[in-house]
Structure 1
Amino acid sequence: MSDTQTLIENRPPSVAALFLERVAATPDAEAYRYPVPSPKLSASPEQGGAPAGQGPDDWKSLSWAQAAERVFAVAAGLIELGVQPEQRVALASSTRVEWILADLGIMCAGAATTTIYPQTNADESAFILADSESKVLIAEDAAQLAKAVEKRAELPALTHVVVIDPTGVESSDWVLTLAELEARGAAHLEKNPDLIKEKVGAITSDQLATLIYTSGTTGRPKGVRLPHDNWSYMAKATAGTGLISADDVQYLWLPLAHVFGKVLTSGQIEVGHVTAVDGRVDKIIENLPVVQPTYMAAVPRIFEKVYNGVAAKARAGGGAKYKIFQWAAEVAREYAKVSQDNFRRTGAASVPFGLGAKYKVADALVFAKIREAFGGNLRACVSGSAALAPEIGYFFAGAGIHILEGYGLTESSAASFVNPGEAYRTGTVGKPLPGTEVRIADDGEILLRGPGIMEGYHGLPEKTAEVLEPDGWFHTGDIGELSPDGYLRITDRKKDLIKTSGGKYIAPAEVEGQFKGVCPYVSNILVHGADRNFCTALIALDEPSILEWAKENGLAGKSYADVVAAPATVALVEGYVTELNGGLQRWQTIKKFRLLPRDLDIEHGEITPSLKLKRPVVEREYKHLIDEMYAGSREA
């Protein structure tokens, strides 16, 4: 039996037990870093003050022992409020260190965490709170509290709301601050010093740990029941890949309400490295040189934005600078493809002398600056949640920013596949995590089985039976291909495959990904063509990039909506669509497109909080543009 198999098979029943082990093993080691506003500020960044996190002095640390003191106080405070094992405690907050401490506190109390994205509106928040029968809500601030107050009459099970940031919040019998909860918990622990050890010791592996509601691209979200064993397995399996070690510094900004974020916190507890936590997406570029992470996880949209930003900056530097960037980008892609291919064949990432010489020049002119912008120490990035356009993946790989794509679903505890370190292959999601089985069904659907698979959907046995077979095989709904040596490539969502009126099948995500690799101005694209005789596309442009272009092309000072409506912009994008079509099969080509008057966003329900496209919503919202593109065709 291998060391990894031993590690997985001898896993404890819960991450709560792992946390106790970690605290006992390295109590004084640094666990978490988090930014604090400068004391000189009179206003928060949101109110117009200077941003926090400008330098090392703005970051504080918690050792494992200090974190445990707060975690145990939260756990004891919840027990004192009457929370029983497996009862739900909801968390509605952005990513911050208190989210992690609260989640660990909930687990150490034997309870289960219900996650709610802070962007979720009052109606859907109330649905999740009611459906999960959450007893306590831990809310980030007054805005999250207000949603619960508005719907209080619909939430008879909710006995208390605990608020992390007490600004503008008055305590009452129903509302208390996180500081007050911790104080109550600390007092409770003084009388019962062994309380947490006893609670954690009583947790069984099949006990509910987390209830995560799928953000879903259609209909009401479903609550995915993930028992403690899922997370204990994830912690051991991610450590077993060898991708993380005790010497790492992780930069964690992903939404912790998303299952991917939960995997990252579990793996960290197993290996004991440092995690710097700050969920403000607008601070990523500013934080990277401060945190200097060795690894971080992200979604493809972030890498697309960085790529578009680098291209826009080069373009703004003048024609010569932009030509150098374009040349360097091609060198990066060629270098990545050749070195990955050679590694696959020979085990050495070698390249021909001529390409190596070109690479050295491109590295000095372009790539070194990109690595510096990522903090200078980045060993690898893990990308998940959606497909990364291969051309963007190859660009970063060549620039020395190694993006290891992974794959999983909420129903499989997020991390079912990941690319293996040096042997990663751009365009694939790598190999299964140790202990996870995979097979491809006759229709191409990916099936998974293993300790990461959910128990089922909360209160929905029929829906559970639709995707989970009695022998444990889970139907992912995704279409994929396995290479002879076990690398998985995702081609599309089963339900998203387009069948044209001519009977040809098209994977829209594949075409959309290729366009993102071709056009540096795109933010989101939706390819449409089901039951039609040709394909069309709705395209939203990246606002900063296209407005930068507009300045140089006679459209300075115009709004985003005016810029995308301008004939020059349409002609610009048409050139990229033509370039895309040159590499597609005839039936895949985009015959017509429309530029959207604004980018797609979470607020309008067009993308999920994990930045996935909600196709039915977008197609419904822009039906008039789709109809316009097909007007006059034979099928219209």
Structure 2
Amino acid sequence: MTDTTETTHDTTTVGHMLRSRVATTPHRRAYTYPDPASPARDWTVATWSRVGSDTEEVAAGLIGLGVEPGDRVAIASTTCYDWVTATYGTMCAGAATVAVYPTTVAADVLHIVGDSGACVVFAEDSAQLAKLLALRDHLPRVHTVVVFDVTLTDRPDDWVVTVDELRRDGRALLTTTPDVVDTRIDGTRPDDLATLIYTSGTTGRPKGVLLPHRVWVGQVRAIADTVAAEPTGRDAPLLGIDDRQFLWLPLAHVMGKLMVLLPLHVGFETTIDGRVDRIVENLGVARPTFMASVPRIFEKAYAGIATTVAGNPGPLRIRERLFHWAGRVGTTVFDADHGDGSTTASRWVRLQARLADRLVFATVRERFGGRIRYVISGSAALDADISRWFGAAGLPVLEGYGMTETNVATLGLPSTYRAGTVGTPLRGFEVHIAEDGEILVRGPGVMAGYHDNPAETARTLTADGWLHTGDIGELDDRGRLRVTDRKKELFKTSNGKYVAPAPTEARFKSLCPVASQIVVVGEGRPYVGALVTLDEAAATAWARRAGVPGDYAAVTAHPRTREMIQGYVDELNGTLNPWERIRTFRILGRELSVDRQELTPSLKLRRRPVAAHFPDDIDALYTTTGAHHAR
């Protein structure tokens, strides 16, 4: 890529942004990642200059395969460096990426790749390739599959190439036509399609969301401009070139995608590794200054810490008592400093909080690498008490609100923080609450529409640019948004009372450290019930302390476990209106999973598959003998 484009072209597309970043800071670290070619997965560093050359080779390789401007290129992979260069390269070639989660079942892979019209698919490994090979006869437009695993030798024919072979061919094309990629970048316009993301389908079949280049450029500028204006960040900017993020989020998710495009504008370094089971270990290696995540990771982190400290066998349970004391005094001070002015903290409490920080919270921060200044939460609601606890621990949670169709529309910042809200609109965004309580969004991150679905586009997107989110919410006196539920998830009991399940579910997971998921049900029923699943690690740790024998399945069925869960349900019910209270519950014998389509890849609950998989358990909630009744 040439280094003169920043003065001759506005950064109006992703290709322009990348080219400008490479020209501006070629020798700065861009990505740190585990090298897949190393048996020990040793960490490797890529500068922006190398990212530029790697991307250029991928883009040229795609052009050599016959990929034309406007074509679609799918990527099916976990989060890794190759995914980044594949998405940058696709956009620099003038084509659009199509996101496919690696956990997507074959039927949905067929729908996404076929519906999008993808002509090339990047596949991570043999598992992803096997799905595509099984579907090959049904995907006539796909002429090439590019596999990231360069050691893969079992290939049927030239339908499959490795990414190294693609880049080799790209280098050969660049030798004869050195400006081939720059020409494609210069020919791409802001309204050209950059990304086609299929919604995770919590309420129905995935729809293709059209996100042109202008959306991504407008989105990253909106975030950067909003953060730059933050009063508390003037001495030490909240987001700058010297920051370092840790990125594990699925890059098929809109938030994950944003977090690989934001560095193009700001220039910070990213440590990238999608292995969820290595998050804690990787945080110690990466030592990031910030991290974006989904609420379930923060819930699990809190539950893991609480379960660990509760495991002290001493009669005085000193560690556990110290943990809860630190939480009380820490959140008291945090509320006083970040609340609505109704809470104060005396000098004595503040002194205790400083001691608690030294004894407890400093250790917590070390588990997150020791350098994090804040964490970002999105994709679903995070319980306010968990948010406050992390704030007290010196890891303030900046919650954002958005969806695939809007990208990030609001973001909480230190100056606007209030637990339970998701911040104020980003620069250039507007948020309006309709008469029925639905949240409407307008701004630079809003989609162009749904792929080949004009009827659904017209229902969702108004002529003057307002997008109907399907979420219910309210704005406070400072313009902060509070999301109360999904419009489509509200249900009515047979007594005529409406119930919003999501806030109840989030609250329960904050109360119960062994809970993995809770599914609140009651549509057309006389009262509200719930299915509860337990986190295997936390539940078995609790069982050892409580003297409950057996494996995970035995623990979930034990009377002592039901008594323990009942205590948390009763505590939850004390915070709810009478018609919202959980009258009955059942503990399931396994956790919900992404593979069974019960959770989305970003760990959001999918109610329809859960209802389809556990109909007898739901029916049993409404018999006299089939459920455990809350007091």
Do both share a fold (TM > 0.5)? yes
1:45 alignment partner in structure 2: none
Counterpart mapping for 1:385-396 below 5 A: 385-396=379-390
Counterpart mapping for 1:100-499 below 5 A: 100-170=84-154, 172-242=157-227, 243-318=238-313, 319-341=317-339, 345=341, 351-412=345-406, 414-499=407-492
For the residues of structure 2 that align with 1:187 and 1:568, how far apart are their CA atoms?
68
1:35 alignment partner in structure 2: 34
Q: What SS does structure 2 have at the residue aligned with 1:370?
A: helix
For the residues of structure 2 that align with 1:513 and 1:217, how far apart are their CA atoms?
17
Residues 523 and 599 of structure 1 are in contact (CA less than 8 Å); yes or no, is this contact kept in structure 2?
A: yes
Q: What SS does structure 2 have at the residue aligned with 1:225?
A: strand
2:63 aligned residue (75, 79, 82): 79
Stretch moving more, 422-431 or 102-111: 422-431
Quick one: which amino acid aligns to residue 82 of structure 1?
A: G
Q: What SS does structure 1 have at the residue aligned with 2:408?
A: coil
Superposed displacement of residue 170, structure 1 = 4.0
Residues 55 and 88 of structure 2 are in contact (CA less than 8 Å); yes or no, is this contact kept in structure 1?
A: yes
Superposed displacement of residue 38, structure 1 = 8.9
1:5 alignment partner in structure 2: none
RMSD: 1.7
Q: What SS does structure 2 have at the residue aligned with 1:619?
A: helix
What TM-score, normalized by structure 2, do the two folds share?
0.93
Residues 72 and 119 of structure 2 are in contact (CA less than 8 Å); yes or no, is this contact kept in structure 1?
A: yes
| 1:25 lines up with 2:20 in the alignment | no
Superposed displacement of residue 485, structure 1 = 1.2
For the residues of structure 2 that align with 1:169 and 1:362, how far apart are their CA atoms?
56
Q: What SS does structure 2 have at the residue aligned with 1:492?
A: strand
Structure 1 gaps of 5+ residues are: 1-9, 42-50, 53-57
1:627 alignment partner in structure 2: 619
Q: What SS does structure 2 have at the residue aligned with 1:322?
A: helix
1:3 alignment partner in structure 2: none
Superposed displacement of residue 11, structure 1 = 6.7
Superposed displacement of residue 582, structure 1 = 1.3
For the residues of structure 2 that align with 1:584 and 1:338, how far apart are their CA atoms?
25
Q: What SS does structure 2 have at the residue aligned with 1:446?
A: strand
For the residues of structure 2 that align with 1:426 and 1:193, how far apart are their CA atoms?
53
Aligned residues: 603
Residues 200 and 600 of structure 2 are in contact (CA less than 8 Å); yes or no, is this contact kept in structure 1?
A: yes
Residues 216 and 258 of structure 2 are in contact (CA less than 8 Å); yes or no, is this contact kept in structure 1?
A: yes
For the residues of structure 1 that align with 2:487 and 2:127, how far apart are their CA atoms?
38
Superposed displacement of residue 584, structure 1 = 1.5
Quick one: which amino acid aligns to residue 247 of structure 1?
A: D
Superposed displacement of residue 345, structure 1 = 4.8
Superposed displacement of residue 350, structure 1 = 7.8
Residues 416 and 480 of structure 2 are in contact (CA less than 8 Å); yes or no, is this contact kept in structure 1?
A: no
Quick one: which amino acid aligns to residue 534 of structure 2?
A: L
Q: What SS does structure 2 have at the residue aligned with 1:478?
A: strand
1:12 alignment partner in structure 2: 11
Q: Percent identity?
A: 47
Residues 333 and 344 of structure 2 are in contact (CA less than 8 Å); yes or no, is this contact kept in structure 1?
A: no
1:69 aligned residue (53, 69, 72): 53
Q: What are the Cα deviations for residues 277-305 of structure 1, in whole angstroms up to 9, with x where unaligned?
A: 10101111101111000001000000010
Q: What are the Cα deviations for residues 543-587 of structure 1, in whole angstroms up to 9, with x where unaligned?
A: 11110011122224x221110100000000101111111121111
> Closer, same or farther in 2 for the Cα pair 1:81/1:538, shift >3 Å?
same
Superposed displacement of residue 505, structure 1 = 2.0
For the residues of structure 1 that align with 2:440 and 2:109, how far apart are their CA atoms?
31
For the residues of structure 1 that align with 2:44 and 2:223, how far apart are their CA atoms?
27
For the residues of structure 2 that align with 1:590 and 1:471, how far apart are their CA atoms?
42
Residues 289 and 374 of structure 1 are in contact (CA less than 8 Å); yes or no, is this contact kept in structure 2?
A: yes
Residues 518 and 532 of structure 2 are in contact (CA less than 8 Å); yes or no, is this contact kept in structure 1?
A: yes
Quick one: which amino acid aligns to residue 222 of structure 1?
A: K
Q: What SS does structure 2 have at the residue aligned with 1:574?
A: helix
Superposed displacement of residue 363, structure 1 = 1.3
Residues 11 and 232 of structure 1 are in contact (CA less than 8 Å); yes or no, is this contact kept in structure 2?
A: no
Quick one: which amino acid aligns to residue 202 of structure 2?
A: T
For the residues of structure 2 that align with 1:164 and 1:510, how far apart are their CA atoms?
41
For the residues of structure 1 that align with 2:226 and 2:287, how far apart are their CA atoms?
23
For the residues of structure 2 that align with 1:381 and 1:214, how far apart are their CA atoms?
24
Residues 10 and 16 of structure 2 are in contact (CA less than 8 Å); yes or no, is this contact kept in structure 1?
A: no
Structure 2 gaps of 5+ residues are: 1-8, 228-237, 626-631
Superposed displacement of residue 221, structure 1 = 1.1
Superposed displacement of residue 437, structure 1 = 1.1
For the residues of structure 1 that align with 2:280 and 2:608, how far apart are their CA atoms?
33
1:569 alignment partner in structure 2: 561
Residues 524 and 600 of structure 1 are in contact (CA less than 8 Å); yes or no, is this contact kept in structure 2?
A: yes
Residues 213 and 223 of structure 1 are in contact (CA less than 8 Å); yes or no, is this contact kept in structure 2?
A: yes
2:576 alignment partner in structure 1: 584
Superposed displacement of residue 409, structure 1 = 0.6
Residues 405 and 429 of structure 1 are in contact (CA less than 8 Å); yes or no, is this contact kept in structure 2?
A: yes
Superposed displacement of residue 117, structure 1 = 0.3
For the residues of structure 2 that align with 1:205 and 1:334, how far apart are their CA atoms?
48
Q: What SS does structure 2 have at the residue aligned with 1:415?
A: strand
Quick one: which amino acid aligns to residue 212 of structure 1?
A: I
For the residues of structure 1 that align with 2:500 and 2:468, how far apart are their CA atoms?
19
Residues 142 and 167 of structure 1 are in contact (CA less than 8 Å); yes or no, is this contact kept in structure 2?
A: no
Stretch moving more, 487-496 or 10-19: 10-19
Superposed displacement of residue 227, structure 1 = 0.6
Residues 225 and 454 of structure 1 are in contact (CA less than 8 Å); yes or no, is this contact kept in structure 2?
A: yes
Q: What SS does structure 2 have at the residue aligned with 1:217?
A: coil
Residues 72 and 196 of structure 1 are in contact (CA less than 8 Å); yes or no, is this contact kept in structure 2?
A: yes
